[in-house]
Structure 1
Amino acid sequence: MQGRIPAGVRSWCDKCTVTPPRGLGPSNKNAFFCPQGLLILPAQEAIVVVMDGIIAAMHRLLLTALFLAVATSQHAHSARIGVVMDGDEPAAPLTADRLDAAGIEVRHDVVYGEMPGVDAERLRLDLYTPAQRGPEERLPILLYLHGGGWFAGDKTQSFLQPLAFVPQGFVYASANYRLGPAATVAEMAQSAADAAGWLVRNAEEFGGDPHRLFLIGYSAGAHLVSLLGTNATFLEQAGVDVASVRGVVSLDTAVYDLPKLLADTDVDFYQMVFGTTRDVEEVSPWHHVRYDAAHPPFLIFYSEGRPAALTQTIPFAQRLRDAGHSATAVEAIGRSHGALNAYLGTEGDRSTRRIVGFLRRQADASDYAETTLKTELVPSPLEYSVLRPGPAFLPDGGADALPILLFLHGGNGDRRWLASQRRLFERAWELGLLPPVVVATPSAASLGYYMDFRDGSEMWTTLLAGEFPRLVAERHDGDSERVAIAGYSMGGVGALRVSFKNPEAFVAVAGMAAGIEPALAFDELPAWYEGWKGARLGDRFGTPVDAAFWAENNPASIAAVNPERLRASGLAILVECGGEDQFHNHIGNEFLHRVLTEQRIPHEYRLVHGEAHVPIAPERMLATFEFLGRALDGPSQAKRVARTRYDTLLAPMQAMGPPESTPEPPK
């Protein structure tokens, strides 16, 4: 393949950061044999030659050998390819002896995928693990993607990184991925995601933790890890829950806002790699940053003085922060583009220290696990997830038994919902909104609403009010005397029902967007509401509906029948819903608020203007955590605040007053 490359290509060729020897082309350092295997001629009408298979490999070897032969005979400031730059001495290569001395085992050329017509070498990875580890120990996994301009490069470009990260308690993998021009950038990203999928699926085999995956990439690989960290589609297609990605380290790419890059440059190379159509947004990390997405924290490096930092790197980090995510942009002082990667893992390298600190903080922020327990109350074994705060959020010297928060998922969810909210819990702990707690989420029956079923086949209310928190306390160092319960949608009404029926068992309850019926008796429901709910819940309440059983499980009816018990219990109550809920749940929540007010049952109520059922704004979740934190720190404080209705929430949200009459459903 041949492509015309104008003078502007020099910004791309800077990725090699190799000063050409005297006599090899003009003084501009970009007009020379590029060690990535591309031939850049010193002319305005330069030709890039890219070949496939054995010919391409021979081409790269010949060019590299030629360049080394000339470069090593030149001025002392000439760079050395593939080791270190800027005049420093090269680091010793990563030999088997060095790995043995560091206590590292390596498996080369692990096959992570197969695809007809694709070079098998491009679907392999090298895996580095500690030689000594406990049989039950599960270490965070770090996946590295090499650079090479999307057309070249190899997993061996990880250089000394295993020596830096494996002794710090990480499993390290360096993966090849499909390259252009045979593969599109989206196909490159998918093959990289497939490598992550293999690591997650096989984590138990090599002692990895599938719920603590980190991505690190250099140059083109930095673009790809940034894409995987923002566009969840690739990881999801590889069977990886994006919530399992605990952090992304991006090492000096110029490609974050791809449409802007293509519009601002006349470099044909980028058009050759990415194309010029609107499809480029699919592989543009900038365009997948979302306020309501679970993006991992980003640590973003750019080489000293790189112009793209002002137009791409720093704006991308700011875009992530503006959307409520964690992102830090760092200039690697004294490091050119190639040196930033080549020095990584060497002793005394500042970038390495910063990356290790970032990885360690994110890996230790919380401990998430998925497990099971046996019970006779619901189908067994019961699957559930559990989240505990890491050492950074615990008092010095550890902590006694922590309070327990039962966190109930919505109608079509399962225990994995807790993983999707993991970063919000960490954020709440970091901000001091929520004290350290053990969070547990059971996988409940679809649209079971956490009820004790009429036929007695499943007893979810009984389980959640007694046996489940007790077993969580025993297994995960929790305090069974300090239990709060919260949930969203089906989980919201479930939390309110379980706690209203058993108020002495809980310190606090938070029902978010709860599916509450706006009546005290079934025959009082508006006709439009009864029809919508009846078809979905007939198997729970009977066909025709068992009106008495319905009332026994309606939180508003429970509160109206026995308000004295709720008042005397000291239960701190939060009722929260978006004002434009697609399922009309705001109508039922307004009704419950009025019932609680009429019965003089202290509670906090928030109807959030402009918010729908999904997606849920992170601020709503954090505000709920703040309520639970006050309740767990001291019920009396929470009750004092709850006696007056919130007039405002977090800008730009605003609570709405109760309607004069029951509102009609949206047209």
Structure 2
Amino acid sequence: MFRLDERLGLALLNLPVLSGAKAIARDVAYGAQPRRRLDVYAPTAASSAPVVVFLHGGGWETGAKEDHRFVMGALAGRGFVAITLNYGLYPAVRYPVFLEDAAMAVAWTKNQAAEFGGDPARIVLLGHSAGAYIAAMLSLDARWLGGVGLDPARDIAAAIGLAGPYDFLPLRSPVLRTIFGAPESWPQTQPIAYVTGENPKMLLATGDDDDAVDPCKPHRLAAKIRESGGDVQTIVYPGLSHRGILAALAMPLRFLAPVLDDIAGFIAQLRPRTSDRP
């Protein structure tokens, strides 16, 4: 069992001496609102590298791109161009603004990836917790990327969710009820509702000691993807908690589980997505 105190843990994991992460572009605007900012990290002399867009967690209420420099360092260290972003949070925004924000950041990435040595045909969405929800929604529900002129079947190579909620009705938390609106609209907010079998390949990982998101939830989404003929992999890490699965990406904690190795291996075997859609 491994549990991490969030604020102290992030401060320690993000120590520069441990992370080794350096942003090559910081606080780049991908939209007009103040939270619509992103950072880009890249390995030295990157050329046509896969691009990983990281979406932080925090229950759609908290979190910031600066909290996860250790994730960026881990990804850049494996040869990926890594992008991390802020998106709108409650109470300033509600569903679906955070999806719209993330879609705008993906469109920015598609247009600018080559400038940083990334391959715009190999964009991978990686999210933790609420960020995994956003990654899944952008990959499964074509409305959000469609709103910025993209198609997940064509423009997203894969999506990776760490400790994500994909099927979490009914909503019991008063805050979540406010974030996601009227009860009659709740089914439309769930990633599992949009599985078609034509969605990007997915990797859904969780820890079996997750005390925030039921570890069984990813398996329900994976089962529906498989039933529809889609491509999905699942991993359960023994002893990892909700935050521990992300902390295991940090250099001093990689002994906990091979989360980084599994992410890197999954991305390494991807090929650019193609689609018959116009």
TM-score by length of 2: 0.87
Assess if the C-alpha contact under 8 Å between 1:162 and 1:345 holds in 2. Answer: no
- Which ranges in structure 1 are unaligned for 5 or more consecutive residues? 1-16, 20-34, 36-63, 65-79, 84-89, 369-418, 423-442, 444-667
TM-score by length of 1: 0.38
Which residue of 153, 159, 162 corresponds with 1:251? 162
Amino acid aligned to 1:192:
A
Aligned equivalent of 2:222 = 317
Aligned equivalent of 1:124 = 37
Which residue of 85, 88, 94 corresponds with 2:16? 94
Structure 2 counterparts to residues 438-477 of structure 1, below 5 A? none
1:269 aligns with 2:187: no
Q: Which 4+ stretches in 1 moved above 4 angstroms?
A: none
Residue 97 of structure 1 and its aligned partner are, at CA, apart by 9.0
Amino acid aligned to 2:59:
G
Which residue of 254, 261, 267 corresponds with 1:359? 267
Residue 197 of structure 1 and its aligned partner are, at CA, apart by 0.5
3-state SS in 2 of match to 1:355: helix
Aligned equivalent of 1:232 = 142
Deviation readout 1:481-523 (Å, 9 max, x if unpaired):
xxxxxxxxxxxxxxxxxxxxxxxxxxxxxxxxxxxxxxxxxxx
The percent identity for this pair of structures is: 27
1:96 and 1:169 map into 2 onto residues whose CA distance is 18
3-state SS in 2 of match to 1:331: strand
Residue 165 of structure 1 and its aligned partner are, at CA, apart by 1.8
3-state SS in 2 of match to 1:130: coil
Residue 142 of structure 1 and its aligned partner are, at CA, apart by 0.4
Assess if the C-alpha contact under 8 Å between 1:211 and 1:244 holds in 2. Answer: yes
Amino acid aligned to 1:184:
R
Assess if the C-alpha contact under 8 Å between 2:126 and 2:159 holds in 1. Answer: yes
Amino acid aligned to 1:94:
P
1:343 and 1:305 map into 2 onto residues whose CA distance is 14
Structure 2 counterparts to residues 124-523 of structure 1, below 5 A? 124-133=37-46, 137-242=47-152, 243-253=154-164, 255-258=165-168, 261-262=169-170, 266-291=172-197, 294-306=198-210, 308-310=214-216, 312-346=217-251, 347-348=254-255, 349-362=257-270, 365=271, 419-420=274-275
Root-mean-square deviation (CA), in Å? 2.5
1:284 and 1:234 map into 2 onto residues whose CA distance is 13
1:148 and 1:193 map into 2 onto residues whose CA distance is 18
- Greater C-alpha Rg: 1
Assess if the C-alpha contact under 8 Å between 1:110 and 1:126 holds in 2. Answer: yes
1:220 and 1:336 map into 2 onto residues whose CA distance is 15
| Greater relative CO, 1 or 2 (CA 8 Å, sep 6+) | 2
Assess if the C-alpha contact under 8 Å between 1:199 and 1:210 holds in 2. Answer: yes
1:106 aligns with 2:18: no
3-state SS in 1 of match to 2:225: helix
3-state SS in 1 of match to 2:157: strand
Amino acid aligned to 1:287:
A
Residue 96 of structure 1 and its aligned partner are, at CA, apart by 10
Deviation readout 1:460-488 (Å, 9 max, x if unpaired):
xxxxxxxxxxxxxxxxxxxxxxxxxxxxx
